[in-house]
Amino acid sequence: MRSLFARLAATISELKANPNEVLNQANGEPIVILSHNKPRAYMVPVETFEQMQEQLEDYRLLQEARKRMDDESVPVTIDELRAAIQEKSAQGVEQA
């Protein structure tokens, strides 16, 4: 049997009949929507969805950072970095 990730379940018929009541009963928690006693969808509050999206983006960035940590690095001194920045800046001014 499949795990459900919500404490409250509502059928599609209940949701159609009185969506505000279903939302009020949820108290900001996710709701699993059932069709023929099978989960068909989850309904989550906007704030929860936005937090989930931010966490997914943070995870994606973490994975990218970990991947880049495995890349070979090139040792550079701060003076070399400053010189390279100044050179790029001078090239930009010449092109303008």
**pLDDT tens-digit profile of 18-29?**
999 999 999 989
Q: Is the pLDDT of residue 86 over 60?
A: yes
With a CB cutoff of 8 Å and minimum separation 6, the contacts of 41 are 32, 33
Predicted pLDDT at 41: 96
pLDDT attached to residue 62: 95
Mean pLDDT to the nearest integer, 43-58:
95
What rounded mean pLDDT belongs to the chain?
A: 91
Cα separation values, 2 from 5, 49, 68, Å: 10, 22, 37
The pLDDT score that the predictor gives to residue 96 is: 57
pLDDT at 1 over 70: no
On whether the CB atoms of residues 43 and 54 are closer than 8 A, the answer is: no
